Structure formats: C-alpha cells, structure tokens
Amino acid sequence: MSDSDGVVRASEIGESNAPPVEEKPYKIIFEANKCFGAGKCAEASRNWELDFDTGIAKPRSYFITEDELDENVRAAQLCPAKKDHGVIHVVDRRTDEEIAPDPHGDGTLSVDW
C-alpha cells in the first residue's frame, strides 16, 4: 500500500466497491482508530455522524460528489484528533491528492497507520 518511498497512495485504499469517478470524484479516508469522538465533523457535515454508543464518528458515505465537497472539507479541517492534523482525509480520486486537511501542504496523503 505504499511505494518505495513509503508514500501511501490514496487510490490504493477502498476502491474495490467504489462508484465511478465521474459520479463521485472524491473519497473519504478515515483513521477511525484515532477518532476520540469530539463530534466536530458531525456538526460541520451531514455526511458525518457520531455514534454515542462507541463514541466514534463515521461517514455515511466514503465517496462524495462535488456538492458534498465543501462540508466534508470543513469536517476534515475541524477534526482535532492527531494533534490537530485530523483523521478525516478528503482525496480527489482523479489526481490522488489530499485536499484536506493536507498538513504537509503538498497534496500527499497524511495518514498515520
């Protein structure tokens, strides 16, 4: 799941059941194991819900449309987990670039697995 430089490619994660890129050009990559249930994502986006039994957030859909992009980017930016770098990643499936939170500023996927 990474190249020789150790870079994780977003296109290698969760694409087996994906809708066509033309239909839903963005995807969510969620580091659920690092979520501590702050609920900021659920406040920012209808795509996110906080499970009160587990205390963990989860997306309703991992693949989103252009119309859903802004609110999911906002959810990713507001996530306080992982020392404010967030555990919600919004990726453009056409380019493999991380749109948010993009803490490195270079579009590479900032997962911490």
The answer to whether domain 26-100 has CATH 3.30.70.20 is: yes
Closest CA to 98 of 26, 15, 32, 50: 26
Residue with tokens 């967030």: 86
- Give the start-to-end residue ranges of the domains of the chain: 26-100
* Structure-block tokens of residue 32: 């659920």
pTM: 0.86
Q: Which residue has the tokens 């590479």?
A: 108
Low-confidence ranges of the chain (pLDDT < 70): 1-9, 11, 84
Among residues 30, 7, 27, 49, the alpha carbon closest in space to that of 87 is found at 30
Q: Which pLDDT value is given to residue 1?
A: 47
Dist. CA 9–CA 66, nearest whole Å = 21
State pLDDT tens for residues 20-50. Answer: 999 999 999 999 999 999 999 999 999 999 9
Give the other-Cβ count within 10 Å of 104's Cβ. 11
